Chain A
């Protein structure tokens, strides 16, 4: 069983749409959670950390459900520039990070 699982997509949505990605993790001892964004042929960059109470950054909202061991990312009012691959990342210990394979998003004009 993979440590972190994501729906690979692709998600193709029109501009202005709301889109949600989910991610599940297998280790209940996981300590920290993140969403990264990766543009084509570029490195992953931190989009946002995910906190237990949920958190929002502009059009992006992240939620954590420890009981069910899943993380979500909601993007509202999608922009063309949101087109990218979104990686779910879980830190189990100080040095153990596990990555999902990513969910591909294309926002269509």
Chain B
């Protein structure tokens, strides 16, 4: 079974804090993704990575950065958290051309 894990299920941070969300997959997938999911807006792609140290911007990269130093790990960084970044963050991995597998999500609240 593919397993994608995320470092936290729930996180509360203050405005202006730097926030790290980590994702680890155990299936040697080359592709990893970070999404946020908001009611009525569906899943929106923040960044994805197709190889170690490679990254591509998604639809809403502003205010976020990512890091992929190892194949199994993909980190999302909020440089200076803002209240409009309160959301559910979902990490996914895949191997082309197959489906994505999602982690359990991190519900981030920025106060």
Contacts and interface: CB of A to CB of B under 8 A. Distances in A.
Contact of A95 (B41, B88, B96, B98): B96
Nearest to B31: A95
Interface in B25-81: 31, 33, 40-43, 45, 48, 50, 56
Contacts, number: 47
B42 A102 contact: yes
Contact of A100 (B42, B45, B94): B42
A58 interface: no
A79 interface: no
B85 interface: no
Interface in B65-111: 88, 90, 94, 96-105, 107
Contacts of A41: 88, 107
Contacts of A97: 33, 45, 94, 100
B102 A44 contact: yes
A1 interface: no
